[in-house]
A and B are shown apart, each in its own frame.
Chain A
Amino acid sequence: MTFVLRRLGSAVPVVLGITLVAFLLIHAIPGDPATTILFGANASTEQIAALRTQLGLDRPLLTQYLDFLSQLIHGDLGTSYLTSNSVAHELLSRAPSTIVLAVAAIVVAVVVGVPLGLAAGARPGTVLDQVARGVSFLGVAIPYFFLALLLVLLLSVRLDWLPAIDDGTPKGLILPAVSLGWGYAAILTRLVRGRIIEEYRSEYVRSARARGCGEWRVLLAHALRNSSIPAITTIGLQFGNILTGAAITEVIFGRAGLGSFLATSISNKNIPVVQGAIVVIGIGYVLINLVVDLVVGAVDPRTRLAGAR
């Protein structure tokens, strides 16, 4: 229980910090936000001043930040400069598609990476191991946007098996998920392979074998189980990168989602949207890693002590 509380406690300052970063963004971007909204030159000084008052930009920074926080707690992320819609609504309506892609990529990574890493780690030095090493080296090195193009060229343009543009069908999800997931499959392959090799040298595996455990049981029930914790932690830590990767993959495949929305918002200096995205992605990352740590802590009590000083 103290572990849960300590872990929750350490998440609070991080969440506050993320909101602070998001809040300060409006002041970091060159140019006055009010001028940006009114497209500068044509607006009179009075109009700009009025908008500044309306946006609350003329008040002290601390007051503004506390307001920002209290709105946030009520689920209000502000309104988009361009459409006057609520940012929370705009983000939420687009987020599911991006999350589906990110989860699909994680599924690809696990389905490809874990068996490959297991096979390679159980028999290091064999042909299969060499193949796994080659795949993982290439997988990490190929940028996902380049892999996406190669897959489209081969499977859509040449062979016409899969759609090049994501049309929202499950079939259209295959290419984006594979392009994005492949790199993480490579990371998982290397991780699981290394762990399995280490686990095979450990005392408990030797004693399991001495008790007459079958090879499969040693691999799946003992070695894999102990290797799964770092694998889960890694996916948790990579979640933010997977999410931004999903956003870019969406743009390549013409899939509607957070990606293109965020990209246009950044180039239009539509600050409330960017602020909202920072808060949502940052807090999402913190929550996912909180859950990962709690799950790992429940599975493996030893890790509960890791953070204690």
Chain B
Amino acid sequence: MTVPLLAGARPAVRARGGLGRLVPVITVVFFLVLLLAPGLLSRTGPIDTTDAFLSPPSAGHWFGTDQLGRDVLSRTVFGARPVLAASLLGVVVAVVAGVALGVAAGTAPRWLNAVLMRVVDVLLALPVLLIALILIATAGSGVRSIVIALGVAFTPGFARVVESSVRKLRTAEYVQAAEVFGSTALRTSVRHLLPNLMTEVVVLASSAVGWAVLTASTLSFLGLGVQLPQPDWGSDLAAGATSLATSWWLATFPGLAITVTILLANFSGDQLMTLLDPREGVRLKQSLPRLLGRRPARAVHPGTTTDPVPTVEKEAAS
């Protein structure tokens, strides 16, 4: 998943500051509200019934109501939690496991590296959705299973990228110098390798969120997420699909919600990538002020770098 993700998602023309830079902030606020306080966006609860059955969108019910008279707006707002929580947690699990596996494999002796990376290759050869379906078949359905499934399914992608970066970084002079001065493998990993991997991992993780949301909603669309009558984008979309011809609003709004979420996640990922492009070797720390908008984004021409970038990192990232 990672290779095409990274290659395809890399914007060739850099986004020009301005409003685009606010998108990650808007996205984070939007996600937080949906996760922690969905009540802010909807007056009625997701399983409260009214006597308006299947009414189309109106001033009273902006997104209409369903067969039981439940407000679709409310269900859409509250239905975010299972999908978002599962995808974000899944990505966190995958990042932690993937980075640990990648660093371990990258610093391990050659035979162990070969064993670990063949395991990663096997997992990469199985489609993400198939891995998730198999895990859910063994662990049962539910949000927790989806988190585990996403975590396992996305781990090999992170491990593969991190491992190849670690292998390149280990030949860097400052890493070799640290080893000469008696730095232990653990210390080298934590002090020298991890900080240099951060940018790449942040960029990868932000672009993985969109895929995770897509996968999580696919799984709940298949009925493997939360149990009814709890709201959930995927299962509400599936439920609305059966009455598509008569009441289009039932499936359309949860579907739009998924689309907007993935759109925001991808756009934020792109913005982050522009700010933290690993190819420029800009350290996360140096880029943070720019992320917060204190310094204007500079015009970048390929081949010229104005930042004081350690040359080793440029080699490592090329």
Contacts and interface: CB of A to CB of B under 8 A. Distances in A.
A286 interface: yes
Contacts of B262: 140-143
Contacts of A281: 126-127, 130
24 contacts: A29-B137, A124-B13, A125-B13, A137-B266, A143-B259, A143-B262, A145-B218, A149-B244, A149-B252, A149-B255, A157-B245, A187-B8, A188-B8, A190-B9, A191-B4, A194-B12, A243-B127, A244-B128, A244-B129, A263-B222, A266-B134, A269-B137, A274-B134, A281-B130
Given A138-B263, A266-B133, A286 B125 contact: yes
Measured as residues with beta carbon below 8 angstroms from the partner, the interface class of chain B is 35 or more
A244 B127 contact: yes
Contacts of A121: 12
Interface in B217-273: 217-218, 221-222, 237, 241, 244-245, 248, 251-252, 255, 258-260, 262-263, 266-267
B4 A238 contact: yes
Interface stretch (A10-18, A55-63, A294-302): A10-18
Contacts of B299: none
Majority-rule SS of A interface residues:
helix
Given A13-B121, A238-B4, A282 B126 contact: yes
B10 interface: yes
A110 interface: no
B122 A18 contact: yes
Nearest to B263: A141
Interface in B116-168: 118-119, 121-122, 125-130, 133-134, 136-138
A108 B70 CA distance: 39
Interface in A19-41: 20-21, 25, 28-30
Nearest to A157: B245
Measured as residues with beta carbon below 8 angstroms from the partner, the interface class of chain A is 35 or more
A182 interface: no
Nearest to B122: A17
A152 B126 CA distance: 30
Interface of A: 10, 13-14, 17-18, 20-21, 25, 28-30, 121, 124-125, 137-138, 140-143, 145-146, 149-150, 152-153, 157, 187-188, 190-191, 193-194, 197-198, 201, 230, 233-234, 237-238, 240-241, 243-245, 248, 252, 262-263, 266-267, 269, 274, 277-278, 281-282, 285-286
A244 B241 contact: no
Contacts of A240: 125-127, 130
Nearest to B132: A244
B214 interface: yes
A241 B248 contact: no
A140 B12 contact: no
A278 B255 contact: no
A201 B127 contact: no
A194 B127 contact: no
B182 interface: no
A129 B126 CA distance: 35
Contact of B126 (A191, A263, A267, A285): A285
B302 interface: yes
Given A190-B8, A243-B127, A266-B133, A197 B13 contact: yes
Contacts of B129: 241, 244-245, 248
Contact of A18 (B126, B218, B255): B126
B37 to A, nearest CB: 25
A143 B8 contact: no
Nearest to B264: A141
Nearest to A125: B13
Interface string B153-197: 000000000000000000000000000000000000000000000
